Amino acid sequence: MIDLIDAIHQVLELIPRLGQERLPILQAHGRVLGEDILATRNIPPWDNSAMDGYAVRWQDIQRASPENPVILKVLADLPAGRVYKGLVGTQEAVRIMTGAPIPQGADSVVQVEDTEKFNDRVKILAGPGWGKNIRRSGEDVRAGETVIVAGTILQPAHIGMLASLQRSMISVYQQPRVAILSTGDELLEIDESWQEGKIVNSNSYSLASLVAACGAQPIQLGIARDQMEDLAHKIQQGLLADILLTSGGVSVGDYDLVKALLRDLGQINFWKVSMRPGQPLAFGMISGKPLFGLPGNPVSSMVSFEQFVRPSILKMAGHQNLFRPTFKAILQENIEKRAGLIHFIRCLLVRKGEKIYASTTGEQGSGILSSMVKAQGLIVLPKEQTLARAGEEVAVILLDSAFFYTPFPAYLSLNNLG
Protein backbone atom coordinates (compact mmCIF):
# COMPACT_ATOMS: atom_id res chain seq x y z
CA MET A 1 0.00 0.00 0.00
CA ILE A 2 1.29 3.43 -0.97
CA ASP A 3 0.86 6.61 1.10
CA LEU A 4 -1.75 8.96 -0.39
CA ILE A 5 0.59 11.95 -0.63
CA ASP A 6 3.40 9.86 -2.21
CA ALA A 7 0.85 8.52 -4.68
CA ILE A 8 -0.34 12.03 -5.64
CA HIS A 9 3.30 13.13 -6.18
CA GLN A 10 4.07 10.03 -8.26
CA VAL A 11 1.04 10.56 -10.47
CA LEU A 12 1.52 14.29 -11.03
CA GLU A 13 5.18 13.80 -11.93
CA LEU A 14 4.16 11.46 -14.75
CA ILE A 15 1.27 13.56 -16.11
CA PRO A 16 2.33 15.50 -19.21
CA ARG A 17 1.11 18.98 -20.12
CA LEU A 18 -0.85 18.83 -23.38
CA GLY A 19 0.07 20.87 -26.46
CA GLN A 20 -1.65 24.06 -27.54
CA GLU A 21 -4.37 24.93 -30.02
CA ARG A 22 -5.66 28.17 -31.50
CA LEU A 23 -9.20 29.18 -30.57
CA PRO A 24 -11.59 32.08 -31.13
CA ILE A 25 -11.62 34.04 -27.88
CA LEU A 26 -15.27 33.35 -27.09
CA GLN A 27 -14.47 29.64 -26.89
CA ALA A 28 -11.49 30.25 -24.63
CA HIS A 29 -13.22 31.18 -21.38
CA GLY A 30 -11.80 29.10 -18.50
CA ARG A 31 -8.92 27.80 -20.65
CA VAL A 32 -5.24 28.43 -19.84
CA LEU A 33 -3.50 30.95 -22.08
CA GLY A 34 -0.48 29.52 -23.91
CA GLU A 35 1.20 32.77 -25.07
CA ASP A 36 2.08 36.20 -23.68
CA ILE A 37 -0.28 38.84 -25.08
CA LEU A 38 1.49 42.06 -26.09
CA ALA A 39 -0.21 45.35 -26.93
CA THR A 40 0.56 46.50 -30.48
CA ARG A 41 -0.73 50.03 -29.80
CA ASN A 42 -1.73 52.33 -26.97
CA ILE A 43 -5.20 52.08 -25.42
CA PRO A 44 -6.71 54.59 -25.67
CA PRO A 45 -4.88 55.26 -28.96
CA TRP A 46 -5.19 59.07 -28.58
CA ASP A 47 -5.99 61.63 -25.88
CA ASN A 48 -9.79 61.84 -25.76
CA SER A 49 -12.52 63.57 -23.84
CA ALA A 50 -13.79 62.03 -20.60
CA MET A 51 -16.87 64.31 -20.65
CA ASP A 52 -19.41 65.88 -22.93
CA GLY A 53 -18.32 69.53 -23.10
CA TYR A 54 -15.95 71.91 -24.86
CA ALA A 55 -12.30 71.36 -25.82
CA VAL A 56 -10.50 74.63 -25.05
CA ARG A 57 -7.12 76.26 -24.41
CA TRP A 58 -6.74 76.46 -20.66
CA GLN A 59 -5.06 79.90 -20.83
CA ASP A 60 -8.33 81.34 -22.21
CA ILE A 61 -10.65 80.05 -19.52
CA GLN A 62 -8.55 79.61 -16.37
CA ARG A 63 -10.21 82.52 -14.56
CA ALA A 64 -13.79 81.97 -15.84
CA SER A 65 -16.61 82.17 -13.28
CA PRO A 66 -20.41 82.72 -13.33
CA GLU A 67 -19.73 86.42 -12.58
CA ASN A 68 -16.91 86.69 -15.13
CA PRO A 69 -17.75 84.20 -17.91
CA VAL A 70 -15.42 83.79 -20.89
CA ILE A 71 -16.95 83.72 -24.36
CA LEU A 72 -15.41 81.44 -27.00
CA LYS A 73 -16.21 80.84 -30.66
CA VAL A 74 -17.43 77.26 -31.36
CA LEU A 75 -15.63 75.91 -34.42
CA ALA A 76 -17.31 72.50 -34.78
CA ASP A 77 -19.42 69.79 -33.22
CA LEU A 78 -17.35 66.64 -32.62
CA PRO A 79 -19.18 63.38 -31.89
CA ALA A 80 -17.26 60.29 -30.69
CA GLY A 81 -15.78 58.38 -33.61
CA ARG A 82 -14.92 61.52 -35.62
CA VAL A 83 -11.66 63.48 -35.79
CA TYR A 84 -11.42 67.29 -36.02
CA LYS A 85 -8.58 68.13 -38.39
CA GLY A 86 -8.34 71.84 -37.66
CA LEU A 87 -6.59 73.71 -34.86
CA VAL A 88 -8.25 75.22 -31.79
CA GLY A 89 -6.84 78.74 -31.52
CA THR A 90 -7.08 81.51 -28.93
CA GLN A 91 -10.69 82.32 -27.90
CA GLU A 92 -11.90 79.20 -29.75
CA ALA A 93 -13.52 75.93 -28.69
CA VAL A 94 -14.82 72.67 -30.19
CA ARG A 95 -18.00 71.11 -28.85
CA ILE A 96 -16.82 67.57 -27.95
CA MET A 97 -18.52 64.33 -26.87
CA THR A 98 -17.16 61.69 -24.49
CA GLY A 99 -14.60 59.53 -26.30
CA ALA A 100 -13.86 61.93 -29.18
CA PRO A 101 -10.16 62.72 -29.79
CA ILE A 102 -8.95 66.07 -28.39
CA PRO A 103 -8.34 68.43 -31.32
CA GLN A 104 -4.92 70.01 -31.82
CA GLY A 105 -4.42 73.20 -29.87
CA ALA A 106 -6.88 72.28 -27.11
CA ASP A 107 -5.44 71.11 -23.78
CA SER A 108 -8.47 70.90 -21.45
CA VAL A 109 -12.18 70.08 -21.54
CA VAL A 110 -14.89 72.13 -19.79
CA GLN A 111 -17.88 69.96 -18.90
CA VAL A 112 -21.16 70.95 -20.51
CA GLU A 113 -22.74 71.70 -17.10
CA ASP A 114 -20.33 74.68 -16.72
CA THR A 115 -21.29 76.25 -20.06
CA GLU A 116 -24.11 78.04 -21.87
CA LYS A 117 -24.39 77.84 -25.65
CA PHE A 118 -25.77 80.73 -27.71
CA ASN A 119 -25.67 80.81 -31.53
CA ASP A 120 -22.11 79.88 -32.58
CA ARG A 121 -20.59 80.89 -29.26
CA VAL A 122 -20.30 79.36 -25.83
CA LYS A 123 -20.15 81.02 -22.44
CA ILE A 124 -17.69 79.29 -20.09
CA LEU A 125 -18.83 79.67 -16.45
CA ALA A 126 -16.04 77.84 -14.64
CA GLY A 127 -12.36 77.21 -15.30
CA PRO A 128 -11.27 73.63 -14.55
CA GLY A 129 -7.63 72.79 -13.82
CA TRP A 130 -5.17 72.45 -16.68
CA GLY A 131 -5.56 69.19 -18.62
CA LYS A 132 -8.88 68.39 -16.92
CA ASN A 133 -11.40 65.84 -18.30
CA ILE A 134 -8.95 64.23 -20.73
CA ARG A 135 -8.17 60.52 -20.87
CA ARG A 136 -4.54 60.19 -21.91
CA SER A 137 -3.32 58.00 -24.74
CA GLY A 138 -1.87 54.79 -23.24
CA GLU A 139 -3.29 55.39 -19.75
CA ASP A 140 -4.96 51.95 -19.94
CA VAL A 141 -2.39 49.97 -21.95
CA ARG A 142 0.98 51.02 -23.48
CA ALA A 143 2.18 49.73 -26.85
CA GLY A 144 4.74 46.93 -26.35
CA GLU A 145 3.54 46.12 -22.83
CA THR A 146 2.70 42.49 -21.88
CA VAL A 147 -0.97 42.76 -21.01
CA ILE A 148 -1.79 39.11 -20.18
CA VAL A 149 0.87 36.52 -19.33
CA ALA A 150 0.98 32.92 -20.53
CA GLY A 151 -0.52 30.61 -17.89
CA THR A 152 -3.44 32.92 -17.07
CA ILE A 153 -6.86 31.28 -16.70
CA LEU A 154 -9.03 33.28 -19.10
CA GLN A 155 -11.92 35.15 -17.46
CA PRO A 156 -14.41 37.62 -18.96
CA ALA A 157 -12.15 40.66 -18.41
CA HIS A 158 -9.32 38.90 -20.30
CA ILE A 159 -11.67 38.11 -23.17
CA GLY A 160 -12.72 41.79 -23.29
CA MET A 161 -9.08 42.96 -23.24
CA LEU A 162 -8.19 40.53 -26.04
CA ALA A 163 -11.07 41.95 -28.08
CA SER A 164 -9.90 45.53 -27.51
CA LEU A 165 -6.42 44.47 -28.71
CA GLN A 166 -8.11 43.03 -31.83
CA ARG A 167 -6.91 39.52 -30.96
CA SER A 168 -9.74 37.31 -32.18
CA MET A 169 -7.67 34.09 -32.08
CA ILE A 170 -5.29 33.01 -29.32
CA SER A 171 -3.25 29.96 -28.27
CA VAL A 172 -4.50 27.98 -25.30
CA TYR A 173 -3.64 24.59 -23.81
CA GLN A 174 -5.69 21.76 -25.28
CA GLN A 175 -8.69 20.41 -23.44
CA PRO A 176 -7.97 16.88 -22.14
CA ARG A 177 -10.18 14.11 -23.55
CA VAL A 178 -10.99 11.62 -20.82
CA ALA A 179 -12.30 8.16 -21.72
CA ILE A 180 -14.47 6.41 -19.12
CA LEU A 181 -14.92 2.64 -19.07
CA SER A 182 -17.07 0.83 -16.52
CA THR A 183 -16.33 -2.82 -15.82
CA GLY A 184 -18.53 -5.52 -14.37
CA ASP A 185 -20.86 -8.35 -15.41
CA GLU A 186 -23.47 -6.98 -13.00
CA LEU A 187 -23.83 -3.65 -14.82
CA LEU A 188 -26.84 -2.45 -16.77
CA GLU A 189 -26.95 0.60 -19.04
CA ILE A 190 -29.16 3.53 -18.06
CA ASP A 191 -31.92 2.78 -20.63
CA GLU A 192 -31.84 -1.03 -20.42
CA SER A 193 -34.85 -2.70 -18.83
CA TRP A 194 -34.33 -3.50 -15.18
CA GLN A 195 -33.22 -7.05 -14.31
CA GLU A 196 -32.86 -8.83 -11.02
CA GLY A 197 -29.31 -8.90 -9.66
CA LYS A 198 -28.11 -6.06 -11.87
CA ILE A 199 -26.80 -2.60 -10.96
CA VAL A 200 -27.19 0.49 -13.12
CA ASN A 201 -23.90 1.85 -14.49
CA SER A 202 -24.10 5.16 -12.63
CA ASN A 203 -20.32 5.61 -12.32
CA SER A 204 -20.02 6.35 -16.00
CA TYR A 205 -22.33 9.33 -15.45
CA SER A 206 -20.91 10.71 -12.20
CA LEU A 207 -17.38 10.41 -13.63
CA ALA A 208 -18.32 12.02 -16.96
CA SER A 209 -19.87 14.87 -15.05
CA LEU A 210 -16.78 15.26 -12.83
CA VAL A 211 -14.64 15.36 -15.99
CA ALA A 212 -16.85 18.05 -17.55
CA ALA A 213 -16.76 20.05 -14.31
CA CYS A 214 -12.94 20.19 -14.63
CA GLY A 215 -13.29 21.71 -18.10
CA ALA A 216 -12.28 18.48 -19.87
CA GLN A 217 -14.13 16.43 -22.45
CA PRO A 218 -15.63 13.10 -21.26
CA ILE A 219 -15.93 10.16 -23.65
CA GLN A 220 -18.18 7.39 -22.33
CA LEU A 221 -17.01 3.98 -23.54
CA GLY A 222 -19.82 2.04 -21.89
CA ILE A 223 -19.32 -1.27 -20.13
CA ALA A 224 -16.59 -3.91 -20.44
CA ARG A 225 -17.59 -7.35 -19.19
CA ASP A 226 -15.42 -9.22 -16.66
CA GLN A 227 -13.56 -11.06 -19.36
CA MET A 228 -9.96 -10.39 -20.41
CA GLU A 229 -10.50 -10.06 -24.14
CA ASP A 230 -13.36 -7.57 -23.94
CA LEU A 231 -11.52 -5.55 -21.30
CA ALA A 232 -8.20 -5.48 -23.20
CA HIS A 233 -9.97 -4.42 -26.40
CA LYS A 234 -11.88 -1.58 -24.74
CA ILE A 235 -8.81 -0.41 -22.85
CA GLN A 236 -6.93 -0.12 -26.17
CA GLN A 237 -9.81 1.98 -27.46
CA GLY A 238 -9.67 4.17 -24.34
CA LEU A 239 -5.98 4.83 -24.81
CA LEU A 240 -6.79 6.96 -27.87
CA ALA A 241 -7.92 9.61 -25.39
CA ASP A 242 -5.52 11.62 -23.18
CA ILE A 243 -6.56 9.90 -19.94
CA LEU A 244 -8.38 6.60 -19.39
CA LEU A 245 -10.57 6.01 -16.34
CA THR A 246 -11.93 2.59 -15.54
CA SER A 247 -14.27 1.84 -12.68
CA GLY A 248 -14.42 -1.46 -10.86
CA GLY A 249 -12.20 -4.52 -11.04
CA VAL A 250 -9.31 -3.27 -8.92
CA SER A 251 -9.86 -4.99 -5.59
CA VAL A 252 -9.03 -8.57 -4.68
CA GLY A 253 -12.04 -10.48 -6.05
CA ASP A 254 -11.79 -13.27 -8.64
CA TYR A 255 -13.19 -10.99 -11.33
CA ASP A 256 -11.01 -7.96 -10.64
CA LEU A 257 -9.40 -8.00 -14.04
CA VAL A 258 -8.30 -4.38 -14.47
CA LYS A 259 -5.59 -4.88 -11.89
CA ALA A 260 -4.59 -8.21 -13.44
CA LEU A 261 -4.41 -6.68 -16.90
CA LEU A 262 -2.30 -3.73 -15.76
CA ARG A 263 0.00 -6.14 -13.98
CA ASP A 264 0.36 -8.26 -17.13
CA LEU A 265 1.30 -5.14 -19.07
CA GLY A 266 3.94 -4.50 -16.40
CA GLN A 267 2.83 -0.89 -16.13
CA ILE A 268 1.26 -0.74 -12.70
CA ASN A 269 2.70 1.94 -10.39
CA PHE A 270 0.46 1.15 -7.43
CA TRP A 271 -2.89 -0.50 -6.78
CA LYS A 272 -3.65 0.29 -3.16
CA VAL A 273 -3.64 3.72 -1.51
CA SER A 274 -3.85 4.58 2.20
CA MET A 275 -7.19 6.37 1.96
CA ARG A 276 -10.84 5.71 2.67
CA PRO A 277 -13.02 5.61 0.70
CA GLY A 278 -10.98 4.52 -2.30
CA GLN A 279 -8.29 2.22 -0.92
CA PRO A 280 -8.15 -0.04 -4.00
CA LEU A 281 -6.95 2.24 -6.80
CA ALA A 282 -4.66 1.19 -9.62
CA PHE A 283 -2.50 3.63 -11.56
CA GLY A 284 -0.21 3.02 -14.49
CA MET A 285 1.13 4.67 -17.64
CA ILE A 286 0.33 2.67 -20.77
CA SER A 287 1.89 3.84 -24.05
CA GLY A 288 2.43 7.23 -22.44
CA LYS A 289 -1.20 7.57 -21.37
CA PRO A 290 -2.29 7.59 -17.71
CA LEU A 291 -4.79 4.90 -16.72
CA PHE A 292 -6.62 5.32 -13.43
CA GLY A 293 -8.28 2.09 -12.31
CA LEU A 294 -10.85 3.62 -9.97
CA PRO A 295 -12.75 1.48 -7.49
CA GLY A 296 -16.26 0.38 -8.42
CA ASN A 297 -18.13 1.62 -5.39
CA PRO A 298 -19.82 4.87 -6.42
CA VAL A 299 -18.50 7.04 -3.58
CA SER A 300 -15.00 5.54 -3.76
CA SER A 301 -14.73 6.29 -7.46
CA MET A 302 -15.80 9.91 -6.96
CA VAL A 303 -13.54 10.55 -3.96
CA SER A 304 -10.57 8.92 -5.74
CA PHE A 305 -11.30 11.09 -8.76
CA GLU A 306 -11.11 14.16 -6.51
CA GLN A 307 -7.69 13.18 -5.15
CA PHE A 308 -6.00 11.99 -8.35
CA VAL A 309 -7.88 12.62 -11.56
CA ARG A 310 -8.98 16.20 -11.04
CA PRO A 311 -5.44 17.51 -10.41
CA SER A 312 -4.15 15.41 -13.31
CA ILE A 313 -6.70 16.87 -15.74
CA LEU A 314 -5.91 20.40 -14.55
CA LYS A 315 -2.17 19.82 -14.96
CA MET A 316 -2.66 18.51 -18.51
CA ALA A 317 -4.76 21.58 -19.32
CA GLY A 318 -1.92 23.92 -18.29
CA HIS A 319 -3.08 24.91 -14.79
CA GLN A 320 -0.61 25.66 -11.98
CA ASN A 321 -3.02 25.41 -9.03
CA LEU A 322 -4.42 21.90 -9.11
CA PHE A 323 -6.24 21.49 -5.82
CA ARG A 324 -9.59 22.67 -4.55
CA PRO A 325 -9.97 25.34 -1.85
CA THR A 326 -9.47 23.91 1.64
CA PHE A 327 -10.17 25.58 4.96
CA LYS A 328 -10.68 24.85 8.63
CA ALA A 329 -14.15 24.24 10.03
CA ILE A 330 -15.45 23.48 13.50
CA LEU A 331 -16.62 19.91 13.87
CA GLN A 332 -20.13 19.53 15.30
CA GLU A 333 -19.99 15.88 16.35
CA ASN A 334 -17.47 13.25 17.44
CA ILE A 335 -16.00 11.07 14.67
CA GLU A 336 -14.19 7.84 15.45
CA LYS A 337 -11.94 5.98 13.03
CA ARG A 338 -9.19 3.39 12.96
CA ALA A 339 -5.57 4.46 12.50
CA GLY A 340 -3.82 3.66 9.21
CA LEU A 341 -5.80 5.43 6.49
CA ILE A 342 -6.59 9.07 5.68
CA HIS A 343 -10.37 9.41 5.86
CA PHE A 344 -12.44 11.69 3.64
CA ILE A 345 -15.76 12.23 5.35
CA ARG A 346 -18.69 13.65 3.42
CA CYS A 347 -19.98 16.70 5.25
CA LEU A 348 -22.54 19.47 5.38
CA LEU A 349 -21.33 23.02 5.99
CA VAL A 350 -22.94 25.98 7.73
CA ARG A 351 -21.55 29.48 7.99
CA LYS A 352 -22.29 31.59 11.07
CA GLY A 353 -20.53 34.95 10.94
CA GLU A 354 -16.83 34.35 10.34
CA LYS A 355 -16.95 30.68 11.35
CA ILE A 356 -17.76 27.57 9.32
CA TYR A 357 -19.22 24.47 10.98
CA ALA A 358 -19.08 20.93 9.57
CA SER A 359 -21.25 17.92 10.31
CA THR A 360 -21.22 14.52 8.62
CA THR A 361 -23.87 13.55 6.07
CA GLY A 362 -24.52 10.44 8.18
CA GLU A 363 -23.78 6.89 7.00
CA GLN A 364 -20.35 6.88 5.30
CA GLY A 365 -20.41 3.53 3.45
CA SER A 366 -18.66 3.64 0.08
CA GLY A 367 -21.84 2.57 -1.68
CA ILE A 368 -24.02 5.32 -0.19
CA LEU A 369 -24.25 7.69 -3.15
CA SER A 370 -26.99 9.71 -1.45
CA SER A 371 -24.39 10.90 1.07
CA MET A 372 -22.37 12.26 -1.82
CA VAL A 373 -25.51 13.97 -3.13
CA LYS A 374 -25.77 15.88 0.16
CA ALA A 375 -22.05 16.57 0.61
CA GLN A 376 -20.81 20.15 0.36
CA GLY A 377 -17.31 19.20 1.41
CA LEU A 378 -14.98 16.45 2.58
CA ILE A 379 -13.57 16.50 6.11
CA VAL A 380 -9.99 15.20 6.01
CA LEU A 381 -8.88 13.20 9.05
CA PRO A 382 -5.15 12.32 9.20
CA LYS A 383 -3.92 8.75 8.98
CA GLU A 384 -3.02 8.23 12.61
CA GLN A 385 -5.93 10.08 14.20
CA THR A 386 -8.54 7.83 15.85
CA LEU A 387 -10.94 10.40 17.32
CA ALA A 388 -11.99 13.87 16.23
CA ARG A 389 -14.06 15.64 18.89
CA ALA A 390 -17.00 17.99 18.55
CA GLY A 391 -15.67 21.58 18.80
CA GLU A 392 -12.30 20.67 17.24
CA GLU A 393 -11.07 22.36 14.07
CA VAL A 394 -10.76 20.02 11.08
CA ALA A 395 -9.54 20.51 7.49
CA VAL A 396 -12.33 20.57 4.90
CA ILE A 397 -12.04 20.35 1.11
CA LEU A 398 -14.79 22.45 -0.48
CA LEU A 399 -16.78 20.48 -3.08
CA ASP A 400 -19.74 22.81 -3.57
CA SER A 401 -18.40 25.97 -5.18
CA ALA A 402 -21.79 27.67 -4.63
CA PHE A 403 -21.35 27.39 -0.86
CA PHE A 404 -20.27 31.04 -0.51
CA TYR A 405 -23.17 32.33 -2.61
CA THR A 406 -26.00 34.12 -0.75
CA PRO A 407 -29.64 35.00 -1.54
CA PHE A 408 -29.02 38.69 -0.71
CA PRO A 409 -25.86 40.81 -0.94
CA ALA A 410 -23.66 39.49 1.90
CA TYR A 411 -21.82 42.82 2.22
CA LEU A 412 -24.92 44.22 3.93
CA SER A 413 -24.33 42.07 7.00
CA LEU A 414 -20.52 42.10 6.67
CA ASN A 415 -20.58 45.92 6.81
CA ASN A 416 -23.04 45.85 9.75
CA LEU A 417 -25.54 47.84 7.66
CA GLY A 418 -28.54 45.58 7.83
249 binds ligand AMP (CB under 6 A): yes
Select the span of 167-175, 245-253, 259-267, 335-343 touching ligand AMP (CB under 6 A): 245-253
Whether residue 277 has a cis bond before it, omega within 30° of 0: yes
Encoded amino acid at 314, one letter: L
365 binds ligand AMP (CB under 6 A): no
Among 247, 304, 361, 371, binds ligand AMP (CB under 6 A): 247
| Contact of residue 293 among ligand AMP, Mg ion, none (CB under 5-8 Å per partner type) | none
Exposure string of 363-396, with b = 16+ CB inside 10 Å and e = fewer, is ebebebeebbeebbbbbbbeeebeebeeeeebeb
Would you say 42 or 202 has its CB closer to Mg ion?
202
Select the span of 53-61, 155-163, 170-178, 179-187 touching ligand AMP (CB under 6 A): 179-187
248 binds ligand AMP (CB under 6 A): yes
Would you say 249 or 293 has its CB closer to Mg ion?
249
What SS3 class is residue 347? strand
DSSP state of 254: T
CB of 376 to ligand AMP, least distance (A): 23
Other CB atoms within 10 A of residue 311 CB? 20
Count residues near ligand AMP (CB under 6 A).
17
Contact 78, 100 (CB under 8 A): yes
**Beta-bridge partner residues of 289:** 286
Select the span of 32-40, 154-162, 227-235, 244-252 touching ligand AMP (CB under 6 A): 244-252
CA dihedral 101, 107, 111, 112 (to 10 degrees): -70
Q: What value, to the nearest 5°, has the Cα angle with vertex 145 and ends 141 and 148?
A: 85
Backbone CA torsion sign across 285, 291, 296, 299: positive
Residue nearest to ligand AMP (CB): 296
Using CB atoms within 10 A of its CB, is residue 401 exposed (0-12), middle (13-18) or buried (19+)?
A: exposed
Among 128, 176, 295, 377, binds ligand AMP (CB under 6 A): 295
Among 48, 174, 251, 364, binds ligand AMP (CB under 6 A): 251
CB of 297 to ligand AMP, least distance (A): 4
CB of 183 to Mg ion, least distance (A): 6
The closest of 278, 291, 222, 284 to 251, measured between CA atoms, is: 278
CB of 221 to ligand AMP, least distance (A): 12
Other CB atoms within 10 A of residue 120 CB? 8
- Give every CB contact of residue 300 below 8 A, 6+ residues apart in sequence: 277, 278, 279, 280, 294, 366
| Contact of residue 115 among Mg ion, ligand AMP, none (CB under 5-8 Å per partner type) | none
Alpha carbon distance 267, 278 (integer Å): 20
Would you say 182 or 361 has its CB closer to ligand AMP?
182
The secondary structure of 90-143 as a DSSP string is TTEEEEE-TTPBPPBT--EEEEGGGEEEETTEEEE---PPTTTTEEPTTSSB-T
**Beta-bridge partner residues of 122:** 72, 117
CB of 224 to ligand AMP, least distance (A): 10
Would you say 20 or 201 has its CB closer to ligand AMP?
201
Per-residue contact string for residues 196-235; x = within reach of ligand AMP by CB under 6 A: ---x-xxxx-------------------------------
108 binds ligand AMP (CB under 6 A): no
Using CB atoms within 10 A of its CB, is residue 262 exposed (0-12), middle (13-18) or buried (19+)?
A: buried
153 binds ligand AMP (CB under 6 A): no
CB of 201 to ligand AMP, least distance (A): 4
CB of 245 to ligand AMP, least distance (A): 11
Would you say 125 or 207 has its CB closer to ligand AMP?
207
Select the span of 12-20, 30-38, 235-243, 296-304 touching ligand AMP (CB under 6 A): 296-304
Select the span of 100-108, 293-301, 352-360, 387-395 touching ligand AMP (CB under 6 A): 293-301
Task: Report how far apart, in Å, the C-alpha atoms of 151 and of each of 30, 315, 319 are.
Answer: 11, 11, 7
Residues that bind ligand AMP (CB under 6 A): 182, 184, 187, 199, 201-204, 247-249, 251, 253, 295-298
